[in-house]
Structure 1
Amino acid sequence: MEDLRDIRKQLRLAMNGVISTSMRQKGMNYKLIFGVPIPEIKHIAAAHEPDVELARALWKEDVREMKILATLLFPAGSMTQEEALAWMREIPYPEIAEQCCNNLFPTVEQPDQLALKFLADKKSPFGRMCGFLLWAQLFKKNLAVEKSRVEAFLAECTCTIHPDVEAGATESSWQEKQAAVQALKFFGRLSSANAQDALSVIAEDGQPETEELKAYYDDLQFEFAYYEEK
């Protein structure tokens, strides 16, 4: 595929050995890491027309930059929920989860439904993280979301922030909690009622029970006060 060869050539020209080495030291064990920063990756993507087969070919490569390019070059609206679920289950690292949720998954039909499907997939390492990151993008873009799905989103946030360990629930990962809080931030920006709902997820009575919850609560309060003043 000519475009694939051209992309590989562009990545080699933009390669940054220092960044590549740093990423490997942080545990990214791709077959190949060019160390190209995200803005440069987007610049490379802009030189190519979105194409389903090209994006799929890029995704199959065990190369950091090619996976990110795949999220940028898959034509908007062309990915089915089934394929989105398949890609989510193949995500190797948090960075790729973020890029999928920033660039690609919001363009899938009924993305709010897709977000709930991600949250329901508790076996995939990045399922719930992707679910909350996708919700964050939907609220950030102020896309239409069904009320019942918003209620389900808030319930899932509560499960993540307050896991019922005594009932057998596992403690949520740091990444999952951060993604949930990020989604609550964008949700709360939309209205004062939403802001209160978001804060209630952390502490219904306004009195967080732990230092961790207090940090989340204060972070959200600061966020909402800032946007209310603007």
Structure 2
Amino acid sequence: MDEILQQIRTDLRRSMNGIASKSMREKGLHYKLNFGVDVPRLRELSKRYPIDAQLAELLWRQETRELKILATMLYPVHEFDMDKADEWVKEIPNHEIREQVSMNLFQKLDFADKLVQKWTDSKDEEVRTSGYWLFARLLIVKSGLVNKTNQNEIMEKMISDLSAGSYFLRLSAQRALTFLGRTAESFSKKILDGIQDLQTSGDAAKKEIFDSLSFEFTDFPD
């Protein structure tokens, strides 16, 4: 295992992009170590390494951006259970990793619907943010698991969280609402009805959310 980890580190150093790493830091993405390797390159590199739970766990525990992302690509989906998902969701350090683990791993689980239902009901805002993001991912890939969730209940929670203090909680709720509204006119109408209070809000961020969703779902004359 140490030999594989050493090879991964060597490959990352060869692919290092200092400019990208600096840009990420300036945008608030702080890691103990960040090689600045873009995700498509990481996906290519991941093909060189074994799909192995022990390796993925080892990579996930490292405070290195690329190793965490590779962990989400190398964990065998069939070995990733509910308890492990509940453990990892609480260890997500930032929104970039949330996006990657949702896309590379969580959305592929055959119990992803149960995770959405559980996480969107959490009192922990970080967990709820991940629940909304996973819900959005299932909508994007048109997963049939979406139909096993209580979409109306989740929609109401997301509308409520559009007024939350957390930027990424609002972002995840808005993104998921956008994709949910695209699935059926009934949802888009309920979303528009539910966000009317944001239109008259003195908060510029809430007004922007209203304008964005309203533009998304309002039919304009030809």
**TM-score bracket for this pair, using the shorter chain length:** 0.7 to 0.9
**Counterpart-to-counterpart distance in 2, 1:33 and 1:148:** 37
TM-score, scaled relative to structure 2: 0.86
Runs of 4+ in 1 over 4 A off after TM superposition: none
Structure 2: give runs of 5+ residues left out of the alignment.
none
Shift of 1:129: 1.4
Distance of aligned partners of 1:141 and 1:135 in 2 relative to their CA distance in 1, 3 Å threshold: same
Q: What is the aligned partner in structure 1 of residue 31 from structure 2? A: 30
Q: Please list, as runs of the form range in 1=range in 2, the aligned pairs for 1:1-230 lying within 5 A after superposition.
A: 1=1, 2-123=3-124, 126-144=126-144, 145-146=146-147, 149-162=150-163, 171-203=164-196, 208-210=199-201, 211-224=204-217
Q: Which amino acid aligns with 1:180?
A: A
Q: Among the aligned pairs, what percent are the same residue?
A: 35
Q: Residues 48 and 201 from structure 1, CA distance in 2 versus in 1: closer, same or farther, beyond 3 angstroms? A: farther
CA distance in 2, matches of 1:6, 1:22: 26
Contact 1:81 1:109 in 2 (8 A): no
Unmatched runs of 5 consecutive residues or more in structure 1: 163-170
Secondary structure, counterpart of 1:20 in structure 2: helix
Task: Tell me, in whole angstroms, the C-alpha distance in 2 between the residues paired with 1:159 and 1:175.
Answer: 14
Which amino acid in 2 is paired with 1:209?
Answer: T
Task: Report if aligned partners of 1:139, 1:187 keep a CA contact under 8 Å in 2.
Answer: yes
C-alpha separation in 2, matches of 1:188 and 1:132: 14
Q: Give distance in 2, aligned partners of 1:198 and 1:49.
A: 44
TM-score with structure 1 setting the length? 0.83
Give the conservation status (yes or no) of the 8 Å contact 1:139–1:186. yes
- How much has 1:62 moved relative to structure 2? 0.9
What SS is found at the alignment partner of 2:199? Answer: coil
Whole-Å Cα distance in 1 between the matches of residues 140 and 157 of structure 2?
18
Assess, with a 3 A threshold, how the Cα gap between structure 1 residues 131 and 172 changes in structure 2: closer, same or farther.
Answer: farther
Question: Which residue type is aligned with residue 188 of structure 1?
Answer: G
CA distance in 1, matches of 2:179, 2:161: 17
Note the C-alpha offset of 1:28. Answer: 3.8
C-alpha RMSD over aligned residues: 2.4
Question: For residues 225 and 53 of structure 1, do their structure 2 counterparts lie closer, same or farther at Cα, with a shift above 3 Å needed?
Answer: farther
Provide the rounded CA distance (Å) in 1 between the counterparts of 2:190 and 2:4.
47
Distance 1:120 1:193 in 2: 23
**Structure 2: how far apart are the matches of 1:20 and 1:96?**
15
CA deviations over 1:60-108 (Å, ceiling 9, x no partner): 1110000011111112343112111111111111111111112111122
Give 1:139's aligned amino acid: L
Q: CA separation in 1, counterparts of 2:93 and 2:160?
A: 24
